[in-house]
A and B are shown apart, each in its own frame.
Chain A
């Protein structure tokens, strides 16, 4: 059903490759020792003459017919409106990988290259606690007032001074109906012996364990390792008996398209985007519940051109621009007024304004849970157990 390599797959891979390339210099710099100035300028060279460098996840911005960033897309419009040059990379595939990449530099007070990165809320929380991100110049981001109330001052950033949400989304079940031959509705459906060896899990521990925990009747608001043991046991069982094929980061979209997975845990927007080109690929919030998460924009320490970064944040918090991004990435926008803008855009975009996955109503929200805070010791226990089971 799929051709050799679609354009998107190629772009995903190119993003991965870029990730690999970014690792190398940071590892080298980590070995470089105390000469912070020289390695610092080395990594900022990658920015070229761009004032803003945003390192993000794949499939996470609009790039209409991408000739580099797409004519009339948000990146293009930003450059036209401000006269600034932006560099946009898709180097983030997994929060753990991201942390490993930036930790050697940030812990030594060196710049990492990009001046905005998009860690998920809990990773942003970790970076804030470690003091590795700068306070946002919110006085220069007037549009920040458009942030939806439910994401203001979240537990990961209690003062709201360090992070602005980029997009929010839902982790649920993604499946390829051509392979499953039926609709899936519950997490139990993933353990159907007919799908043996064709089920994928995310390396994102909170989404994988979160979904399984909810299916075992465990709430996510006050997580402790003891309480979650049944979820880990379940995961372990399904790995050992070969039901689960692999744990991946954002690259699960390839496995889904290539028919390697019958079903997997996936992120709402990615899957809705995929289903545009392949209607057999579907997304469902399992009956026992999905996780609600958000990714953030943060400015790492020692970043250059902070005022220009503020202009970018202000630009994407304008509902018109935010709606353009939403129409493409199909995640939950953190910006108020997007629903109205989508209706104004008409066509496909207007339909999105009524989608439960983008603008969940009270009954959908009641079926979604966000993770409570995991303290350092608990997080370590969770991560160690998850690593042991997933073998990644």
Chain B
């Protein structure tokens, strides 16, 4: 009796500490590469630079934040609108594709999913610049585009919001397809047969059974597309114009051209806070179980 109790005790003690042991690499990673950098960013955002090439001095300078809101409100709004549209488009294009691969892919499934990832073998920068060749004003794509009745002979695609949103959608599409595919893969499609037996139409079965079950994938995909898209600057740099400048462009310029680290840090923090708030609202709307993907 006594010996068995000790064994149970040890088992209990083991199970009490083991999770922390397993978690520690993750916790250390989070502290070192997330909390500490955010702390540094926060400190920089409240600092003042005496002049361009001098180190910033910490002095609770909150005016960096008022400038961030005051001067760059348009860029913030534009970033969220562009990223939001890109996310929606990615769902509209990516969902049917993921659905098709998951249900009709058969033995080609892995190959087809592999194809979705293939573009990543080329650098992000090169892929974006490639679009400037495809969409050039003298190119065949624009020639076709100009045939549309509402476009006219002066129509262009580059240096318009359409090009920037298109670039964002294209560049982050895979991040939408993969999680949706994973969540569709897990669904037992005999449920749709059961729905049919109970008198549901195929569309009804999709709407009431399959789609709700795949929402975690849509949720994860939306985060993976929206967040990097909102902070992106490359697509605007190569496909956009001064009229489409996004907040990432401003941060990039403040940081790398003007060396205004405090302003750049303040803008980054504002971006981070707004995105976090939006994600919280969105997760409430779609259900937090989405986070479990």
Do A and B actually bind?
Answer: yes
Please tell me if the beta carbons of A376 and B133 are within 8 angstroms of each other in the complex: no
- Bound: A130/B51 CA distance, A: 13
In the assembled complex, the CB of B282 is this many whole angstroms from the nearest CB of chain A, namely 29
In the assembled complex, the CB of A380 is this many whole angstroms from the nearest CB of chain B, namely 5
Please tell me if the beta carbons of B138 and A247 are within 8 angstroms of each other in the complex: no
Please choose the segment from A50-58, A265-273, A384-392 that sits at the chain B interface, where 4 or more of its residues have CB less than 8 A away.
Answer: A384-392
Please tell me if the beta carbons of A260 and B136 are within 8 angstroms of each other in the complex: yes
Determine chain A's interface SS by DSSP, over half rule.
Answer: helix
Q: Is A288 an interface residue (CB 8 A)?
A: no
Please tell me if the beta carbons of B53 and A259 are within 8 angstroms of each other in the complex: no
Please choose the segment from A2-10, A33-41, A157-165 that sits at the chain B interface, where 4 or more of its residues have CB less than 8 A away.
Answer: A2-10
Question: Which chain B residues (249-290) contact chain A, with CB distance < 8 Å?
Answer: 249-250, 253-259
Q: Which chain A residues lie closer than 8 Å to B133 at the CB level? A: 4-5, 9, 258
| CB contact under 8 A between A247 and B136, given known A383-B257, A392-B253 | no
| CB contact under 8 A between A17 and B123, given known A100-B256, A384-B258, A387-B253 | yes
In the assembled complex, the CB of B72 is this many whole angstroms from the nearest CB of chain A, namely 10
Q: Which of A242, A246, A379 has the most CB of B within 10 A?
A: A246
Q: Which chain B residues lie closer than 8 Å to A388 at the CB level? A: 71
Q: Is A105 an interface residue (CB 8 A)?
A: no
Q: Which residues of B contact A (CB under 8 A)?
A: 51-53, 71, 123, 125-126, 129, 132-133, 136-139, 154, 156, 158-159, 237, 240-243, 245, 249-250, 253-259
Q: Is A189 an interface residue (CB 8 A)?
A: no
| CB contact under 8 A between A391 and B126, given known A1-B138, A100-B257, A197-B156 | no
> Size class of A's contact patch?
35 or more
Jot down 10 A-B pairs with beta carbons below 8 A, ordered by A: A4-B133, A17-B123, A20-B125, A239-B242, A246-B159, A258-B137, A260-B156, A376-B51, A377-B51, A380-B52
Q: Which chain A residues lie closer than 8 Å to B132 at the CB level? A: 254, 258
Q: Across the two chains, which residue of chain A brings its CB closest to B129?
A: A13
Q: Which chain B residues lie closer than 8 Å to A244 at the CB level? A: 241-242
Q: Across the two chains, which residue of chain A brings its CB closest to B71?
A: A388
Q: Which chain B residues lie closer than 8 Å to A97 at the CB level? A: 256-257
Please tell me if the beta carbons of B258 and A246 are within 8 angstroms of each other in the complex: no
- Bound: A103/B257 CA distance, A: 11
| CB contact under 8 A between A391 and B137, given known A242-B243, A376-B52, A383-B257 | no
| CB contact under 8 A between A258 and B129, given known A197-B159, A387-B258 | no
Considering the complex of A and B, which 9 residue pairs feature the smallest CB-CB distances, nearest first?
A391-B245, A259-B138, A258-B136, A100-B256, A391-B242, A96-B257, A259-B137, A20-B125, A260-B137
Q: Which chain B residues lie closer than 8 Å to A96 at the CB level? A: 256-257
Please tell me if the beta carbons of A16 and B138 are within 8 angstroms of each other in the complex: no
Q: Which chain B residues lie closer than 8 Å to A20 at the CB level? A: 123, 125
Q: Which chain A residues lie closer than 8 Å to B254 at the CB level? A: 387
Q: Across the two chains, which residue of chain A brings its CB closest to B130?
A: A13
- Bound: A389/B254 CA distance, A: 13
Please tell me if the beta carbons of B258 and A245 are within 8 angstroms of each other in the complex: no
In the assembled complex, the CB of A11 is this many whole angstroms from the nearest CB of chain B, namely 13
Please tell me if the beta carbons of A17 and B139 are within 8 angstroms of each other in the complex: no
Q: Which chain B residues lie closer than 8 Å to A392 at the CB level? A: 237, 242, 245, 249, 253, 257
Please tell me if the beta carbons of B129 and A380 are within 8 angstroms of each other in the complex: no
Q: Which chain B residues lie closer than 8 Å to A9 at the CB level? A: 133
